[in-house]
Every structure is written in C-alpha cells, then in structure tokens.
A and B are shown apart, each in its own frame.
Chain A
Amino acid sequence: MNSDRVADRVKGLKGSGIREFFDIAQQTEGAISLGVGEPDFVTPWSIREACIFSLEKGYTSYTSNWGLLELREMISDRVYTDDSVYYDPEGEILITTGVSEAFDLAVRAIADPGDEVIIHEPSYVSYKPCTLFTGASPVCVDTGVEDEFKLRAEKLEQKITDKTKAIILSYPNNPTGATLSRKDLEEIADVVTEHDLLVISDEVYGKLTYDGKHTCFSSLNGMKDRTILLNGFSKAYAMTGWRLGYAAGNKDIIEAMMKIHQYIMLCAPITAQMAAMEALRTNDEMERMVSEYNRRRRLMVEGLREIGLSCFEPKGAFYTFPSIENTGFKTSEAFAKRLLLEEKVVVIPGSVFGASGERFVRCSYAVSQYEIKEALERMGRFLEGHRVV
C-alpha cells in the first residue's frame, strides 16, 4: 500500500499473515484444512433456540453500553465459581463485540504513545497491530519449544524498561497450545508487582484446558487490580460468529474502556447477548465438546509424531505446533505452500505468529477425527518425499 490517501500508521502495517497463500488455501477444492481457528461444532441448539426465542419476543434494541446487566451478573457468578475471583457486575465487567474488541479497548485504555507493551511470541496476530494503533511500542519476547512455549519470568524481566506499561498474557496459547501452571503464573505475578505493571490476560481458550484446570491470572494474590481479564464465548461455546466477549478488571480501567466502546461500538448486539445468557446456564454441551477436542488432540499429536514430526504436547486450545526442523524446508511458509500444492492439506506457517514461530506450523484439531486421520496420511506421504537424508 502506498496510496497517499491512506494514513501512514496503516500503511506501515503488514496484512494479517501471508495473504496470497491464504487465498489459494481458501479456494483449493478438496483440501483438508487444519488452518481453522474456530470450532467445527455448530453453536449448541439450546443456545440457538434461545436466541430465536429472543427475536420472536422482540429483543432487537440497543442495550446499555455496558451490556445487559443480567448477562454481566451471570458472568460475574460464573467467573467467581470457576476462577475464585469476584467482579462487580456494575462497573467491573464490560460486554464487548468479541475478545478482539475487548483487546483493542484494553490496550487503548492504558497505553500512551511512547509506552512499551510486552508481547510474548509466537502468539495471536492482533496484539501487535492494536498496540501500534495506540502509538505505544510492542516489545516482543520469544518463547521457545525448550520452555514448552511458556513465558518465563526471567525472560520477561529482561525486556522490562522504565517505559514498560503492560504485558500481554495469552494462555492457553494460540498457536502453540501451551498453558501456564499456577506456579509459572505466580512467578510472572512477582515480576508484575515488582515493576508495577498492568497485565492484559486473554483467556479465551481457558475452558479448553486438558491437563489440570486453567488458572485465571487475576485470581492470583494482588493481581485482580492489575489485570484486565479478557474472555468470550467463541471458543468454549462454539460461538465465533456471534462476536461476543467481555472484559473484567479494575473499575477505572473498565470505565475507560467503556468510554471508547460507547463511541465506537455503542453496545454488543443484543441477540448475541441473549444467546450468551443461555450458554452460561449449562456446561454440559461445552464439556462434551472439550472431551471430544481432547481425544482429537491425542490422536493428532501421536499421529504427527508417528509420521516423523517432533511435536510438543499442547495442553490447551485446539492447536498443535509441530516442528519442521527435520524436513528439507527452509521456512514454514515454504513447507505450508508445498504441502498444500502436493497433498492439499492446509496448515498455517508458524512465522505468521512471530519470528520465533518460524520453524513450526500450526495444525488445528478443531476438525473431525476422520479429517485428522486423512490429513495425517497425506502429510505422512508428503514427508516421505521430502525427508532430509
């Protein structure tokens, strides 16, 4: 982009990933896509049915800028029950149009030009650009497979300067599937306290944790006041297209986020808010989906290892992040392009998620068991032809 009509701030921005490859991937007939970042389940029927009922009853208006109070109360209850941290539904919770909006609001509410925001990589693609929009500087800290892609407190500390305002925490992680234990989180919390930082914790994959229970960062001692907790309905309840999320945190910060939200979004769609209330009423369907992801996770990790890719064991989200180290390919992009061309399997080059993702590809297991088996067979054949001797 070099049109004079486009603002410099945007011109400098890279498109999300490698557009050309993605275009081909979208259009390839007969391809099996492990490039998906959303559940293959349709939103559970009880949720859809409740939404239809709300439309029949005529719930089609704006809501409060904060979101429906009843929904905020239900979220407050749920977070308290599941994560042992209490948020006041009036003032400490804001309903947003997906976690994407919540993240944008959070970083805009706290970062000034010149501030530094630390982002661990590989991680989701929107953190960096959203930070750049505020005029603050994103500072990347690499996480590696040798650390199971965990953000280590000592590595974090090395990146802290007197300009550091906040850190982004994104666990369970997209694209690696890494999770942090309570102990890992406590070590990070110590650094946060010592350097007087804020934390934006994107926990949208929190319910998709397969080994032990997810620990909510703000539930740690002293962290509630320093953390903007972001979560939503997309992944756990298979509700990606509804665009519904929320932010919870310190009253002043949530109030600041609400100010931006009221001008740019006004409120999240009432239809999605009505559906979200139904989603929170029962956990059965979510638990059923989580056990199914867990089976697929094991099937895929074992399968990847069997065809000769070394693969770190992901404990959350629905991604595996195998290494392409012992294949003949120099870049993850070259690997992905060739795999699509030869065997019609779509995987996402790890480089999309930051430089430290370069030697990896992201394979999603939010696909059927049949597709996992078929994709693995194709990938196995592909690797046979490209094995390094």
Chain B
Amino acid sequence: MNEKEKQKEGEILRILEENARLSDNEIAKMVDMDEGGVKAIISELENSGIIRKYKALINHEKAGIETVQAVIDVKVNPERNTGYDSIAERISRFPEVKSVRLISGEYDLSVLIQGKTMHEVAYFVAEKIAPLDGVRNTVTHFLLKTYKENGEMYEEEEKGERLAVTL
C-alpha cells in the first residue's frame, strides 16, 4: 500500500469511527474517491479484522433498560509460559464480561461486567471470577452513572442558539 492509500484508509477509519452508518457513496465523496474504491478498502479492513464490528452506542438509562455494570479489579498470578494471556482469555469468554484490560498498578486486570441486577453481578464475581485458578484477589466497583462513553457525552450539552443568518 502506498502512502496515499494509507492516508485514505486512515481517513475512512476516522469517518467510520465517528459514524458507521454513512453509505459508501457518502464516504467516497468525503474522501474524494470513487465508491468502488471505498468499498474495496472497507472490505479489506473488515476481512483483516481491523474493523471488528459496527454497533450502536446506547444510553440504557434513557431507554429504560435496567442494567447493572461493575468494574472488577482483579489481581492474578501470571502463568509461566502465557503470562496474563490465558487467565485474561478465560475471563473474557463469559458473555457477562463486556471488556477485559491488562492494567498497570496494584491490580492486573480491569474487567467490566454487565448484568440485570446487583445481585446477579455480585454472584457472577463470587462464583465465576474469584474462584478461578490464578485469581488472587478482586475488588468490585458498581457503576452509578455514565457521563461519557466511547468519546460521546450521554447528555447533550446545552448550546447557545446560532442565528440562522450571519454574513
């Protein structure tokens, strides 16, 4: 891939990261390419796993969907050959687990769990995470309110109104 193609690819990624629902045609206009070229780049990005998925960012509270989320700090014993990877992958496979990250500091993994009730989340930690071989210690932080997620503010900021006409 030459420099120019790389640049177009980067620009398309930035556009999709902002709004994944744009049509290939619209993206083509924005990046000054033909639609076929954009299609090809996007399928390549999808096939190679660079684009993992297209999803909607939902404000559950507003939608009236009751969910409980908790961040679990997990301290683990790394394994001889695989380090943190095998334990992290084990934890990742549970569908209740929304994200798993290796972090620096006192704890090793930061795990985001989603469930329907506090009870359910607490039980999940006690029954599925804590007893795992290699898990030494966990701390559960229940999330109380989301202000911003994935770069998006959950409450639209109040904004002064622009005049319809200014020269």
Which residues of A are interface residues toward B (Cβ below 8 A)?
16-17, 22, 25-26, 28, 31, 33, 35-38, 40, 42, 124-125, 174, 241, 291, 295-296, 298-299, 302-303, 346, 348, 352-353, 369, 373
For residue B32, CB closer than 8 A to chain A, the reply is: yes
The closest CB in chain B to the CB of A124 belongs to: B167
Instruction: Report which of B22, B32, B157, B162 forms a contact with A38, defined as CB distance below 8 A.
Output: B162
B29 & A26 in contact (Cβ 8 Å cutoff): no
Q: When the two chains form their complex, are residues B167 and A17 in contact, meaning their CB atoms are under 8 A apart?
A: yes
In the complex, A35→B164 CA distance in Å?
Answer: 6
Q: Does B42 count as interface, using CB distance less than 8 angstroms?
A: no
Q: Is A42 touching B15 in the complex (CB atoms < 8 A)?
A: no
Q: State A384–B121 Cα separation when bound (angstroms).
A: 59
Q: Contact: A125 with B167, CB < 8 Å?
A: yes
Query: In the complex, A125→B164 CA distance in Å?
Result: 17
Chain B residues closer than 8 Å to A295, beta-carbon distance: 15, 30-31
5 residue pairs from A and B, CB less than 8 Å apart: A22-B165, A31-B164, A36-B164, A298-B31, A369-B19
- Considering only residues 1-59 of chain B, those with a C-beta below 8 Å from chain A are 11, 14-15, 19, 22, 26, 29-32
Q: Whole-angstrom distance between the alpha carbons of A296 and B15 in the complex?
A: 11
Q: Which of B117-160 contact A (CB under 8 A)?
A: 157, 159-160
Are the C-beta atoms of A298 and B32 separated by less than 8 Å?
Answer: yes
Whether B167 lies near A348 (C-beta < 8 A) is yes
Contact A40 B162 (CB under 8 A): yes
Contact indicator B29/A348 (Cβ below 8 Å) = no
B134 to chain A, nearest CB (A): 41
A303 to B29, CA, bound (A): 9
Q: Which residue of A lies closest to B22 (CB)?
A: A369
Tell me whether B65 is interfacial, beta carbon within 8 Å.
no
A16: which of B15, B157, B162, B167 is its contact (CB, 8 Å)? B167
Given contacts A38-B162, A241-B160, contact A352 B30 (CB under 8 A): no
How far apart are the CA atoms of A298 and B28 in the complex, in Å? 9
Q: Is the CB of B164 within 8 A of A25?
A: yes
Q: How far is the CA of A40 from the CA of B162 in the complex (A)?
A: 8
- Determine which of A37, A296, A299, A353 lies in contact with B166 in the assembled complex, contact meaning CB atoms within 8 Å: A37
Which chain B residues lie closer than 8 Å to A348 at the CB level?
A: 165, 167
A302 to nearest B CB, angstroms? 4
- Report yes or no: B165 in contact with A36, Cβ–Cβ below 8 A: yes
